[in-house]
Structure 1
Amino acid sequence: MPLRIAATVELVSLVVLIANRVTVHLDGVAALVGPVHGTAYLAAIALTVARAGWRSRAAGLSLVPGVGGWVAAVLLGERPYRLSG
């Protein structure tokens, strides 16, 4: 589940960065969301490598920005979220 959380944060923050860029382009949004995106991207890679190793297909795919963490989580069989008990 930690990989899915990191992958979700990475994807959402990338969408926010792109939306900001093509619309109002506020520097404050980029300054705040950019580091969050970068950290989530690196966390998704690290979590994938820790679980599957450097030479796995999941590790290679986790390097794809935005969706790589999600693809790696699916390949590794990580369970989806359950919002209700």
Structure 2
Amino acid sequence: MSAVPLRIAATVELVSLVVLLANLATVHVAEVASLVGPVHGCAYLAAIALTVARAGWRSRAAALSVVPAVGGWAAAAALERSATVPD
């Protein structure tokens, strides 16, 4: 299984979080928050689900994936690192 879907979900999660925080720090438009908030939540859950589907619940990558904002990227890196280590 490729790490590309996980990296896409992690990127969407990070970008949407930046948009939410920028909106909160500047103009705080409620419509932006109501649109981007669910996108962020879905991307966060997708990153966790993709990691667990690939590595299982009891893995270091699964533990990393629950860290907000950068967890998906950390999990993808851990999965790629473990895939390149010979048995």
> What is the match of residue 82 of structure 1?
none
> What is the match of residue 17 of structure 1?
20
**Which structure carries more helix by proportion?**
2
Deviation by residue 1:48-71 (Cα, 9 ceiling, x = unmatched): 000000000110010001000000
Report the count of equivalent residues: 78
Which runs of 5 or more residues in structure 2 are unaligned?
82-87
Letter in 2 for 1:73: A
Q: When the two structures are superposed, what TM-score results if normalisation uses the length of structure 1?
A: 0.90
- Structure 1 runs, 4 residues or longer, greater than 4 Å off: none
Cα distance in 2 between the residues matched to 1:18 and 1:70: 19
Which runs of 5 or more residues in structure 1 are unaligned?
79-85
Match of 1:73 among 67, 73, 76: 76
Letter in 2 for 1:48: T
Deviation by residue 1:9-63 (Cα, 9 ceiling, x = unmatched): 0000000000000100000000000000000000000000000000001100100
Question: Secondary structure at 1:76's aligned position in 2?
Answer: helix
Q: When the two structures are superposed, what TM-score results if normalisation uses the length of structure 2?
A: 0.88
> What is the match of residue 63 of structure 1?
66
Provide the alpha-carbon RMSD of the alignment.
Answer: 1.0
